[in-house]
């Protein structure tokens, strides 16, 4: 098992096709990571970590957990820090890059490497209501 410094990302997981699958949402502060995560949580997903995510590789897969100081909590902008249902750890199968503008209709496949593991990367404007559905659709294609 290899470990790196925490990644500036919010991570959520959903039980899909018989297993828990995680999505790491990337972007700078204010990009909409927590907002997108809260909308996914509203659809039955679980929070793994908000804002910073501890990442490690094991057995050719990528896993994440929350740093202890922030475990179980997420920032709801304008409301404060709130507790939500969580998952202690998750195997990550997709990364989502939050962008401040619309993305190409049919982009070339992208990936991003974490701890020596390449993850499919979905570039996404997290603000539209459909962003939650786009993440779910991308997860189903894996």
Contact 46, 14 (CB under 8 A): yes
Q: Residue 10 has what pLDDT?
A: 97
When pLDDT is cut at 50, 70 and 90, the band that residue 17 belongs to is: confident
The per-residue pLDDT for 4 is 73
For 106, residues 6+ apart whose C-beta sits below 8 A from its C-beta are none
- pTM above the 0.85 mark? yes
Place of tokens 């959903």: 14
**81-139: pLDDT as tens digits:** 999 999 999 999 999 999 988 787 888 889 999 999 999 999 999 999 999 999 999 99
Question: For residue 60, is pLDDT > 90?
Answer: yes
Could you give the domains of the chain? 2-140 (3.40.50.300)
- What pLDDT is attached to residue 3? 56
Q: Would you say residue 31 has pLDDT above 60?
A: yes
Interval 54-76 mean pLDDT: 95
Given a cut of 90, whether residue 26 has pLDDT beyond it is: yes
Separation of alpha carbons 102 and 88, rounded Å: 33
Q: What are phi and psi of 139, to 5 degrees?
A: -65, -40
């Amino acid at each position: 098992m290899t470990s790196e410094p925490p990644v500036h990302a919010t991570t959520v997981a959903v039980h899909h096709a018989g297993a828990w699958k995680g999505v790491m949402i990337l972007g700078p502060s204010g990009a909409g990571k927590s907002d997108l995560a809260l909308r996914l949580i509203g659809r039955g997903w679980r929070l793994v970590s908000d804002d910073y995510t501890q990442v490690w590789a094991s057995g050719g897969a990528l896993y994440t957990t929350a740093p202890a100081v922030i475990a179980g909590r997420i920032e709801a902008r304008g409301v404060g820090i709130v507790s939500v249902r969580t998952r202690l750890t998750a195997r990550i199968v997709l990364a989502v890059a939050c962008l401040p503008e619309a993305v190409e209709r049919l982009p070339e496949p992208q990936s991003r490497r974490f701890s020596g593991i390449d993850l499919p990367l979905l570039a996404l404007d997290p603000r539209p209501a459909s962003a939650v559905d786009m993440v779910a659709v991308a997860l189903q294609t894996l």
